[in-house]
């Protein structure tokens, strides 16, 4: 029994060490990204899938910084990042990172972007840190330890619904425009309203903070959503499971998260891609 307690204690300590590292990396990576943001007119902007899917040296250098900090402290951990792909590990932990989520707002001078850092263990997001440098805000969560915003505990309100709150909606060229239009129409018909800021990770953090009652996007990647998922769950909300086993971790899937008073109704409004 004593050996089992010691083993569990070591696991908890290991997770806490990684949580402390995620907080520190979030601050450092956020500062680097903010410096690039202030000099964004100097950046060379490239496109990926389409003209709305952009990237710059800022994304790549911020991800490089995050990877270097993780590898220095936990060299056996896996890392999946938007810009440099998946590096498998041996520890059972996998970091899932988006150096700048909301690159389109970033390069256009809008402040709705963030650094997103998640940690997976046994297929579950157990750490989520989202740093919003322009607002000097750090959203942070660790499994079974709650969620916080700049150190203040976050706890979602059961009374917030689709009808008395705002819902975040996302969309991209991976899905038919009509699919996004359908969920917006259904939401408005149900008496709700929506916002779109350009950063799915930051809107998920806003769900955890109670600023949005829920968030839905028909297709996102793991690096966009897993940190936000950890935040929402630890704040008392729920989310649609994201496939993380094997190659599925590197592919996209629907993302939906909401507070306790809106999850069921928002889930009912979300269309299936097979219908389009």
Domains defined for the chain, CATH in brackets: 2-154 (3.30.540.10), 166-275 (3.40.190.80)
Query: What pLDDT score was predicted for residue 271?
Result: 77
DSSP 8-state secondary structure symbol assigned to residue 236: T
Pick the closest to residue 239 from 274, 203, 273, 275 (CA basis).
203
State how far the Cα of 256 lies from the Cα of 82, in Å rounded to an integer. 20
The residue behind tokens 């699919």 is 179
* CA within 13 Å, CB half, 113: 23
Query: What pLDDT score was predicted for residue 117?
Result: 98
State how far the Cα of 113 lies from the Cα of 45, in Å rounded to an integer. 16
Q: Which residues of the chain fall below pLDDT 50?
A: 1-12, 51-54
147 phi, psi to nearest 5 deg: -120, 155
Partner residues linked to 220 by β-bridges = 253
What is the separation of C-alpha 38 from the centre of its chain, rounded to a whole number of angstroms? 23
Query: What pLDDT score was predicted for residue 40?
Result: 87
Per-residue model confidence as pLDDT tens digits over 225-237 = 999 999 999 999 9
Partner residues linked to 166 by β-bridges = 193
Asked if 211 contacts 105 with a C-beta cutoff of 8 angstroms, the reply is no
Query: What pLDDT score was predicted for residue 219?
Result: 93
Q: How many CB atoms lie within 10 A of CB 173?
A: 12
Structural tokens at position 106: 């970033």
State how far the Cα of 156 lies from the Cα of 240, in Å rounded to an integer. 17
State how far the Cα of 171 lies from the Cα of 269, in Å rounded to an integer. 15
Query: What pLDDT score was predicted for residue 276?
Result: 54
Asked if 14 contacts 119 with a C-beta cutoff of 8 angstroms, the reply is no
What is the value of pTM for the model shown? 0.91
Task: Give the residue ranges of DSSP H helices in the chain.
Answer: 2-38, 57-73, 103-107, 177-189, 200-208, 222-234, 263-269
């Amino acid at each position: 029994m004593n050996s089992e307690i010691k083993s569990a204690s070591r696991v908890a300590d290991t997770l806490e060490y990684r949580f402390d590292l995620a907080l520190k990396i979030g601050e450092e990576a956020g500062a680097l990204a903010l410096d690039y943001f202030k000099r964004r007119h100097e950046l060379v902007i490239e496109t990926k899938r389409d003209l709305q899917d952009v990237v710059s040296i800022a994304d790549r250098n911020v991800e490089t910084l995050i990877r270097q900090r993780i590898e220095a402290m936990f060299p056996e951990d896996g890392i999946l990042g938007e810009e440099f792909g998946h590096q498998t590990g041996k520890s059972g932990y996998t970091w899932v990172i988006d150096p700048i989520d909301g690159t389109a707002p970033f390069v256009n001078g809008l402040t709705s972007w963030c650094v997103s850092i998640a940690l997976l263990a046994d297929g579950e997001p157990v750490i989520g840190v989202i740093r919003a440098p322009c607002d000097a805000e750090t959203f942070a969560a660790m499994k079974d330890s709650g969620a916080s915003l700049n150190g203040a505990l976050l706890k979602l309100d059961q009374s917030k619904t689709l009808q008395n709150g705002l819902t975040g909606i996302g969309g991209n060229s991976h899905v038919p425009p009509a699919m996004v239009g359908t969920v917006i129409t259904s939401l408005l018909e149900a008496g709700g309203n929506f916002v779109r800021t350009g950063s799915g990770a930051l809107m998920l953090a806003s769900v955890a903070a109670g600023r949005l009652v829920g968030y839905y996007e028909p297709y996102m990647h793991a690096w966009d959503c897993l940190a936000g998922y950890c935040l929402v769950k630890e704040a008392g909300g729920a989310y649609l499971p994201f496939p993380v086993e094997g190659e599925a971790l590197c592919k996209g899937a629907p993302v939906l998260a909401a507070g306790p008073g809106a999850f069921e109704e928002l889930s009912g409004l979300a269309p299936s891609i097979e219908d389009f």
